[in-house]
C-alpha cells in the first residue's frame, strides 16, 4: 500500500524534507510558509500535497523524524561506545561542538509542550528521541560499571536521567542565552561525579584492605 513512488519521486520527496528542515532550522517552525519550502526546494504546491497528502502537518512530521534521527547520528560513533573515560570525554566534546555550531537554531525546539500538542505525532517523535538517547547513556553507564570505572552504587537509569536532563537544559540555556557554559558545566560536573563514584568505592576498598 505504501509505495507508488518512482526513483524520481523518491528524490523529490527527500529534497522537500531536507529543504524544509533547513528552512525550519533557519526561520523556525511557525515562521515557515509552504511557499518558502517551495522556493527553497524548487517545487510546486502540487508536489507538496502530492508527497504529503496531510499538508503541512504531514510534512512537519517527516521533518521532525528526520531531525530526531540526525540528533543521534551526530553523536555517533561516540554515543554507542561509552566504554572508557576518554570515550566519554570524546562524546562530551562532540556534543559541545555540535551544539556550539548549531547555536540558536534548534529544529525540534518548537515541538515541545503545547506547541507540539496540536501534533501528537511530533510529540511522540520527540519522546522517542529522548528515550533512545537516555537508553544509550544508560548502556554506557552499565558498561563502565562492569569494568569498575563507575561505582556499583550508581543507579544507571537515574544517573542517565539526570545527565540527559543536564544536556537538555544546557541546550535550552544555549538557546535562550547564547552561552555554552551551562551545557559544559552540566556535562562536566555530572561526568565528574560518575568518576568520583568509582574513586569513593576504591577508597573504601583500600580502607577495607588496611
Partner DNA sequence: GGAAAAATGGACCGGCAAGTCCAAAGCCCG
Partner DNA sequence: CGGGCTTTGGACTTGCCGGTCCATTTTTCC
Q: Would you tell me which residues interact with DNA (CB under 7 A)?
A: 4-10, 12, 32-35, 42-47, 49-50, 55-57
Q: What is the CA radius of gyration of the chain?
A: 21
CA atoms of 172 and 175, how far apart (whole Å): 5
> Min. distance of Cβ 194 from a second copy in angstroms?
10
> Is 79 or 163 the residue whose CB approaches a second copy more closely?
163
CA atoms of 27 and 8, how far apart (whole Å): 28
Say which entry of DNA, a second copy, none residue 191 contacts (CB below 5 to 8 A, set by partner kind). Answer: none
> Is 59 or 129 the residue whose CB approaches DNA more closely?
59
> Min. distance of Cβ 152 from a second copy in angstroms?
16
Residue 32 grid coordinates: 515557515
> Is 45 or 158 the residue whose CB approaches a second copy more closely?
158
CA atoms of 96 and 182, how far apart (whole Å): 10
CA atoms of 147 and 85, how far apart (whole Å): 11
> Is 8 or 207 the residue whose CB approaches DNA more closely?
8
19: left (phi over 0), alpha (psi -120 to 50) or beta: alpha
Say which entry of a second copy, DNA, none residue 120 contacts (CB below 5 to 8 A, set by partner kind). Answer: none
Amino acid at each position: 500500500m505504501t509505495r507508488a513512488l518512482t526513483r524520481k519521486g523518491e528524490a523529490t520527496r527527500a529534497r522537500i524534507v531536507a529543504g524544509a528542515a533547513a528552512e525550519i532550522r533557519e526561520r523556525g517552525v511557525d515562521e515557515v510558509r509552504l511557499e518558502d519550502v517551495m522556493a527553497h526546494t524548487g517545487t510546486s504546491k502540487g508536489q507538496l500535497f502530492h508527497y504529503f497528502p496531510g499538508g503541512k502537518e504531514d510534512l512537519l512530521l517527516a521533518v521532525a523524524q528526520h531531525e530526531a534521527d540526525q540528533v543521534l547520528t551526530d553523536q555517533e560513533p561516540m554515543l554507542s561506545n561509552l566504554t572508557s573515560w576518554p570515550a566519554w570525554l570524546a562524546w562530551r566534546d562532540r556534543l559541545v561542538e555540535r551544539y556550539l555550531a548549531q547555536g540558536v537554531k534548534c529544529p525540534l525546539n518548537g515541538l515541545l509542550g503545547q506547541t507540539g500538542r496540536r501534533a501528537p505525532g511530533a510529540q511522540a517523535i520527540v519522546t522517542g528521541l529522548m528515550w533512545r538517547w537516555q537508553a544509550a547513556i544508560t548502556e554506557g553507564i552499565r558498561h563502565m560499571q562492569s569494568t569498575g570505572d563507575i561505582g556499583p552504587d550508581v543507579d544507571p537509569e537515574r544517573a542517565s536521567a539526570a545527565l540527559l536532563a543536564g544536556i537538555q537544559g544546557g541546550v535550552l540555556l544555549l538557546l535562550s542565552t547564547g552561552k555554552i557554559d551551562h551545557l559544559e558545566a552540566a556535562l562536566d560536573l555530572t561526568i565528574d561525579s560518575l568518576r568520583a563514584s568509582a574513586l569513593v568505592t576504591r577508597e573504601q576498598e583500600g580502607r577495607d584492605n588496611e
